[in-house]
Amino acid sequence: MLDHIFLTVSDTGRSVAFYEAVLPILGITARHDYYGKDGPPGHPDLKGFGAKGRVFFWLRQGVAAPGSMHVGFVADSEAMVNEAHAAALAAGATESHSPGPQLHYDPRYYAAQVKDLDGHSLEFVYKSWQHDR
């Protein structure tokens, strides 16, 4: 299991606004700023997002490398995938794959993909078999 991920973005203010418009739909509502001056020398400032007492998705200023990473966010339903996808597009994302079943993986794998403002690949995913416990 992953604890956290850093995503390098070209404009943290712009990216924070984008993710603040999208992530709450997925239940990711915590926001935290970490100031690099409080850490070891050279540590970057970070803008964090999380849920359930954990901050796990961090943005840092720098030169974005959009082809270097794909981030999949868990959704609790197909409707949540649809809503996150619509919010991302409204916030400036570009569509990669509209919401629907991803039959090449599994007929129960429902997802949508967008590229964020820096071109990072994002996916909103509902895998029903992982929620039917």
CB atoms within 10 A of CB 5: 11
In tens, the pLDDT along 12-51 reads 999 999 999 999 999 999 999 999 999 999 999 999 999 9
| Cα 110 to Cα 4, 78, 84, 97, distances in angstroms | 24, 6, 13, 11
Domains annotated for the chain, with CATH where assigned, are 5-130 (3.10.180.10)
Q: The tokens of 123 are what?
A: 């996916």
In tens, the pLDDT along 64-105 reads 999 999 999 999 999 999 999 999 999 999 999 999 999 999
How far apart (Å, rounded) are the C-alpha atoms in residues 116 and 85? 11
